[in-house]
Amino acid sequence: MLRIPTILTADEVLDKAFKKASKAEHKGPTRLETVRETNISKIRSASDVIVSTLGKYVKAFPSIERLSPFYAELIDVTIGKDKLKKSLGAIDWCRGSVARVSREAIGSIAKARSIDDIDNFRRAAYGRISSIVKQIGNELEFVSNARDKIRKFPTVDISVPIIVIAGAPNVGKSQLVGRISTGKPRVAVYPFTTQEISVGVFERKRIRYQVIDTPGLLDRPLEERNAMELRAILALKHLADAIVFVIDPSETCGYTLAQQEHLLSSLKDEFGSTPMVVTENKVDVLRSDSDRPKLSAVSGEGVSELVDEVVRNLADSRKLQQCL
Ligand SMILES: Nc1nc2c(ncn2[C@@H]2O[C@H](COP(=O)(O)OP(=O)(O)OP(=O)(O)O)[C@@H](O)[C@H]2O)c(=O)[nH]1
Ligand SMILES: [Mg+2]
């Protein structure tokens, strides 16, 4: 989604800078001038490496305000937007400080009268630069983790119709996504297998649809939801053109039908304006006498009919009209 370079640790940034600096050489008319020019050049190249490396990091992270609401909120839920801003601010501060220290040291070296003085100024500058960069060690680590998380964000094309699969944990959402789309989410017998949002696609009558698998939702109010559940909520809120709510009436998922129905009614309250198809999964285990569409994501029974129903629900959406 976003191209962010590998983030080095504080020690790696310093290694890179001082390695480059160690190669600096200059020949002056006298030994004093040779030492002076060489040391100025060392400090300048160390500082340039640090300033440009850190500058790349600050620039690579998108200004959260400019992202679409889905990604902006996803960053906030997954990483914490204030902490990210603060870390990037600290990295930017480090850049400025290193540039200032190196300017001052170069000024002093330019006026120094002896080789010893030059060496001392250079050593002092290296020491200050090291300590400034080390001060942002934690921030670099935080930003590096943020990068890893952002790289795992799903790439969603918002111009293509999006079907979000939601429901309680362990009801068979991922199994269904795997069956109807190119998505291959992990399926397992225990709840909370899916922790991130993932995307698969399928085609019907030459129209492409995206299917989004989401982490399971518990029957509880928004303010009690954890980051994993909030990612599911974000997909429902910002991405869904249609929602498929999966119910497991067999209750082998570990949640009662009453809990699942209650969750469904709260999602209906929250996302009532989005077309929603409620389906009952695991008919191979239990077939209720409700008139909801039924399927087995394992055997495949009823799956194609469900897809037809969802596609019918999307027929009027503006996005689909644009795809025709
Ligand atoms: N018998 C039967 N088992 C099913 C069916 N669909 C899914 N399962 C099983 O239910 C369990 C959970 O399936 P998942 O697809 O991982 O469920 P999920 O809703 O994605 O679960 P979370 O990601 O944890 O929320 C797995 O053991 C599946 O094999 C079905 O139609 N019939
Ligand atoms: Mg899952």
My answer on whether 146 and 166 are in the same domain is no
* pLDDT per position as a tens digit, 100-118: 999 999 999 999 999 999 9
Intervals of the chain under pLDDT 50: none
Number of Cβ within a 10 Å radius of residue 257: 16
What's the CATH number where 141 sits? Answer: 1.20.120.1190
My answer on whether 231 and 277 are in the same domain is yes
Span from the CA of 76 to the centroid of ligand 1 (angstroms): 29
- The DSSP secondary structure of 272-297, one letter per residue, reads TTS-EEEEE--TTT---SSSS-B--T
User: Hunting for tokens 């994501």 — which residue is that?
Assistant: 297
Q: Is residue 110 part of a domain?
A: yes
Span from the CA of 200 to the centroid of ligand 2 (angstroms): 13
My answer on whether 93 and 230 are in the same domain is no
* Strands 162-167 vs 198-204: parallel, antiparallel or unpaired: unpaired
Q: Phi first, then psi: what are they for 206, rounded to 5°?
A: 60, 20
Three-class secondary structure of residue 322 per DSSP: helix
Span from the CA of 180 to the centroid of ligand 2 (angstroms): 14
Alpha-carbon dihedral of residues 195, 196, 197, 199, nearest 10 degrees?
Answer: -100
- pLDDT given for residue 105 in this prediction: 98
Q: Which helix (H) or strand (E) holds 82?
A: helix 81-111
Q: Is residue 156 part of a domain?
A: no
Structurally, how many domains does the chain consist of?
Answer: 2
* Strands 162-167 vs 207-213: parallel, antiparallel or unpaired: parallel
- Regarding the beta carbon of 217 and ligand 1, being less than 6 Å apart is answered no
Q: Is residue 170 part of a domain?
A: yes
Number of H-type helices and E-type strands within the chain: 11, 5
Last residue of a domain, one of 90, 122, 151: 151
- Regarding the beta carbon of 174 and ligand 1, being less than 6 Å apart is answered yes
For residue 233, what are the domain limits? 162-323
- The whole-angstrom separation of Cα 9 and Cα 289 is 60
- Regarding the beta carbon of 216 and ligand 1, being less than 6 Å apart is answered yes
Last residue of a domain, one of 151, 178, 193: 151
My answer on whether 182 and 268 are in the same domain is yes
- Regarding the beta carbon of 189 and ligand 1, being less than 6 Å apart is answered yes
- pLDDT given for residue 1 in this prediction: 57
Contact 83, 142 (CB under 8 A): yes
Last residue of a domain, one of 151, 170, 192: 151
My answer on whether 195 and 278 are in the same domain is yes
Q: Is residue 3 part of a domain?
A: no
My answer on whether 174 and 99 are in the same domain is no
What's the CATH number where 301 sits? Answer: 3.40.50.300
- pLDDT given for residue 323 in this prediction: 67
pTM of the entire predicted model: 0.88
- Regarding the beta carbon of 172 and ligand 1, being less than 6 Å apart is answered yes
Structure tokens at 295: 């399927």
My answer on whether 312 and 205 are in the same domain is yes
My answer on whether 177 and 101 are in the same domain is no
Q: What is the sign, positive or negative, of the torsion defined by CA atoms of 254, 256, 259, 260? A: positive
* pLDDT per position as a tens digit, 34-63: 999 999 999 999 999 999 999 999 999 877
- pLDDT given for residue 324 in this prediction: 66
- In Å, the largest CA–CA distance within the chain is 98
Q: Phi first, then psi: what are they for 27, rounded to 5°?
A: -115, 120
Three-class secondary structure of residue 165 per DSSP: strand
Q: What is the sign, positive or negative, of the torsion defined by CA atoms of 263, 267, 272, 274? A: negative
